[in-house]
Amino acid sequence: MFESMAIVGATGAVGRIILQLLEERDFPLSQVKLLASARSAGRTVTFRGEPCTIEELTPESFDDVDLAIGSTPDETARDFVPWALERNCVVVDESGYWRMDEKAVLVVPEVNGEVLARHQGLIASPNCSTTQMVVAMKPLHDFGRIRRVVVSTYQATSGAGLGGSRDLEAGTRAHLAGEEHRYEAFAHPIAFNVIPQIGSEKYKGYTSEEMKMVWETQKIFGDESIEICPTCVRVPVTNCHSESILVETEEKISVEKARELFEAMPGITVNDDLAAGKYPMPLSCENQDDVFIGRIREDISSPNGLAFWCVSDNLRKGAATNAVQIAELLVESQSGATA
């Protein structure tokens, strides 16, 4: 059984939400260790009503730790994951560093939770944009097999970390006051602007963020024949990523059938009434764990195409919630094995 847990990156935006979720969901553990960089060591946070001191991340941090959830930059995950695995600690990693590694299983519980049965100690959680898209794709793919996806993302500044959120607020204030703001997370102003680049140039003019959506989706579904054309855009929204998604399926799926499939899918909430002005928006989806879908309509340019709008809280289902759900599945599997 998993009795002790470490949260790596406990002081970050996602790390804070992981702690909140563990408390809200009454996650079963007897000991939690909070790890972060040396500059955060010594600070205290409250967990389950008790003060917890942040410890500096070192190889020895994982001695006697059964399970670790990490939300860190890639270079930190590159270093700490082997430390944990060497000490027989199971790792759920949020970074992008290990997702495509053959030793890692890449998991969204509602979509491919069954692959956890073959994990070798390392479980990766996908990119936030990938996560909400594959949850939306799952019921459609199971019913009519998706051949192609065209997706455009509208990604919130919180996806760039705490610096991104500071940039939006301070940059907006500065713009309104006619002043300059030195941006820390973005190469261009985000206030009153959109930036059609997230990540570095990666492949044939696509960015690293866009290629994550391609490669991770194919790995999650175990199907490299699914064709995906992504465009990732940063927008001046504090939290929650939105996506315009067009899928082409082998078997035609009507709007009515798609709505039925979405409504039956765990983790999806349908909000779709165009005439009444009802559809998912970031302000209405924040601090919630579901993937929200609306604007469901047939593609009038393709006989087997279906278009819809998808919104999800990128810090919760896109990151913290997915990791905690993975940990819960791990606990369930351990309980079943010992029953």
* 138 Cβ neighbours under 8 A, 6+ residues apart: 110, 111, 265
Q: Give residue-wise pLDDT tens across range 13-39.
A: 899 999 999 999 999 888 899 999 988
Could you tell me if 96 and 212 are in contact, meaning their C-beta atoms sit under 8 angstroms apart?
A: yes
Burial of 205 (0-12, 13-18, 19+ CB in 10 A): exposed
Mean pLDDT of 221-247: 98
Task: Give the separation between CA 77 and CA 30, rounded to whole angstroms.
Answer: 25
What is the rounded CA–CA span in Å between residue 238 and residue 156? 5
Task: Please say if the pLDDT value at position 339 is more than 50.
Answer: no
Whole-number pLDDT of residue 332: 87
**Contacts of 49-55 spanning 24+ positions with Cβ under 8 A:** 54/10, 54/11
pTM: 0.94
Find the range with the poorest average confidence among 49-53, 92-96, 120-124.
49-53
Mean pLDDT on 73-86: 96
Cβ neighbours of 37 (radius 10 Å):
15
Contact call for residues 66 and 89 (beta carbons, < 8 A):
yes
**Token couple for 11:** 């002081």
Which residues, at least 6 apart from 277, have a Cβ–Cβ distance to it below 8 Å? none
User: What pLDDT does residue 50 have?
Assistant: 87
pLDDT at 326 over 80: yes
Other beta carbons less than 10 A from residue 1's beta carbon: 12
Q: Which domains does the chain have, with CATH numbers?
A: 4-126+319-338 (3.40.50.720), 130-313 (3.30.360.10)
Structure confidence by residue, pLDDT tens digits, 153-192: 999 999 998 899 999 999 999 999 999 999 999 999 999 9
Rounded Cα distance, 162 and 73, in Å: 13
Q: Which residues are catalytic?
A: 128, 241
